[in-house]
Amino acid sequence: MNSSTQTQAILALADGTIFRGISIGSNGHRVGEVVFNTAMTGYQEILTDPSYARQLVTLTYPHIGNTGTNTEDSESGNAHKVWAEGLIIRDATMVTSNFRNSESLTDYLQNNDTVAIAEIDTRQLTRILRDKGAQHGCIMTASDGETISDTDVQQAIKLAQGFAGLEGMDLAKECCHPDGFEWTAGTWELSDTLLNRDAPGSHDSGTGGFFKQLGEHIEHKYNVVAYDFGTKTNILRMLVDRGCKVTVVPAQTPIADVIAMNPDGIFLSNGPGDPAACSYAIDSVRHIIEETNIPTFGICLGHQLIGLASGANTIKMKTGHHGANHPVQDLESGVVMITSQNHGFAVDEDTFPDNVKSTHRSLFDGTNQGMELTNKPVFSFQGHPEASPGPHDADGLFDRFAEMMEKAKR
């Protein structure tokens, strides 16, 4: 992009480090925790993942925006909301080319009131984050609409230093759907019209005629209640693919109301913030574990809540795991999976009680990636096995959940 015609912007870290670039999103400023994501694809899914609330996301892959954006790949449900506090990239591509594209990345950011900065050295920034850990930061565009002033720089540093941090922050109740909803749509599948774009009906509604949606003709064998702590859309789609009728309820829904729905299984979703701050959710999960035998599956924040409810502790990680290339080993089979990850907290395996068994471990840093209760039908996984749009190595965990519900029904 031509920086001479762009509004200037800066990224200020709390330690006073300044990165100068150009604005490719909305004007203004945003503060949050600066993290880096190593995925090469999926910037729209990353932006709309509720687990990125209050975070400024640095993409280490240099060229971002070449496939544009579309109306189907939002991970924040029907709201199509951008949850990431801001975006930090090296180069915003000038050319957008993809048969599904409906809007350029720059237009998408501006229309979703998202502050973003480009043309900075993301390699240098990533080294800082890798060595020092996730940093508090502020993205600020020029106050006069053109150039960054010394006043802007000092104000940005002050704002970065004033960010409270994610420890102790309960974001699940803010990122969940306030009223809950029913979810019946399955995953997308390539249709025959992709191979014949000129065929009659190849440009019908929905996904431009090139994709067809599963779920409409799938038998709903299992009644699943999903606690929404900031759930990703594709997780719900993966449940539907396996015969689940999914009722999504807000994070603070009393457990008595959930049990009254007579679920075959309970799902605990991903979400942002500090799991230890979600006392209401911990209490609900503890009730599920201690008072019921309902098959329960947790992902990401849901995984951490199961750990806390079982008596384990969680810890804030130095940099967290954010990317689509993380190796995780299944400790029983020895199989290594490449997984999609997005979390800044981890369950401390050293604090596991006797009835909690570790099932998966990160081969990057040895942190816990999965667990199961030995005396209850409860298990969880730290990564995102739905992996939209990453590797699908771990999606068999959804099959395990369905098998547990089938066994319980029999």
CATH number assigned to the domain comprising residue 23: 3.50.30.20
Using alpha carbons, select from 6, 58, 60 the residue that is nearest to residue 32.
58
Within a domain: 166: no
Residue 29 lies inside a defined structural domain of this protein: yes
Please give the Cα distance from 294 to 378 (Å, whole number).
8
**pLDDT of res. 2:** 45
Assess contact for 64 and 35: CB atoms under 8 A: no
Packing angle of the helix pair 396-409, 233-241 (nearest 10 deg): 50
Same domain (yes/no): 269, 370: yes
User: How is the chain split among helix, strand and coil, in percent rounded to 5?
Assistant: 25, 30, 40
**Considering 45, 75, 119, 386, which one is annotated as catalytic?**
386
The answer to the question of residue 167 being in a domain is: no
Same domain, residue pair 150 and 288: no
Percent of the chain whose predicted confidence (pLDDT) is above 90:
84
Instruction: Supply 1's token pair.
Output: 């992009």
When pLDDT is averaged across residues 369-392 and rounded to a whole number, the result is: 95
Structural domain includes residue 151:
yes
Last residue of a domain, one of 104, 133, 161: 161
Q: For position 180, which CATH number holds?
A: 3.40.50.880
Mean pLDDT of 212-230: 85
Measure CA 159 to chain center: 25
Nearest to 58 by CA among 320, 391, 275: 320
* Average pLDDT value over all residues in the chain: 92
CA dihedral 177, 178, 184, 188 (to 10 degrees): -20
Kindly state whether residue 322 falls inside one of the protein's structural domains.
yes
Instruction: Please state the rounded mean pLDDT for residues 347-373.
Output: 98
Say if residue 105 is in the same domain as residue 252.
no
Task: Determine the 3-state secondary structure of 292 from DSSP.
Answer: coil
Average pLDDT over residues 245-270: 98
Q: How many CB atoms lie within 10 A of CB 320?
A: 22
Give the domain extent around 111: 3-161
Q: Count the Cβ atoms, other than its own, within 10 Å of residue 72.
A: 16
Is the same domain home to 230 and 85? no
Higher local confidence (pLDDT), 71 or 303: 303
Please tell me whether residues 301 and 334 are part of one structural domain: yes
Same domain, residue pair 156 and 183: no
Confidence label for 175 from pLDDT (cuts 50, 70 and 90): very high
Pair 352, 242 in one domain: yes
Look at residue 4 and tell me whether its pLDDT is greater than 50.
no
Residue 329 lies in a domain: yes
Contact between 42 and 232 (Cβ < 8 Å): no
Q: Do residue 138 and residue 186 come from a single domain?
A: no
User: Final residue of a domain: which of 111, 132, 161?
Assistant: 161
Residue 204 banded pLDDT, cuts 50, 70, 90: very low
**More confident call, 384 vs 211:** 384
Same structural domain for residues 150 and 179? Answer: no
Q: Are residues 352 and 267 part of one domain?
A: yes
Q: What is the pLDDT of residue 216?
A: 63
Catalytic option among 80, 136, 303, 384? 384
243 with 300, same domain? yes
| From 29, 138, 300, 326, active-site residue | 300
Domain ends where: 102, 126, 161? 161
For residue 331, count CB atoms less than 10 angstroms from its CB and return exposed for 0-12, middle for 13-18, buried for 19 or more: middle
What is the number of structural domains in the chain? 2
DSSP assignment of 159-200: HHHT---STT-B-HHHHS-SS-EEE----EEE-GGGG-TTST
Catalytic residue status for 384: yes
- Say yes or no: 398 and 309 in one domain: yes
Q: How many CA atoms lie within 13 A of 399 on its CB side?
A: 5
Mean pLDDT to the nearest integer, 139-164: 93
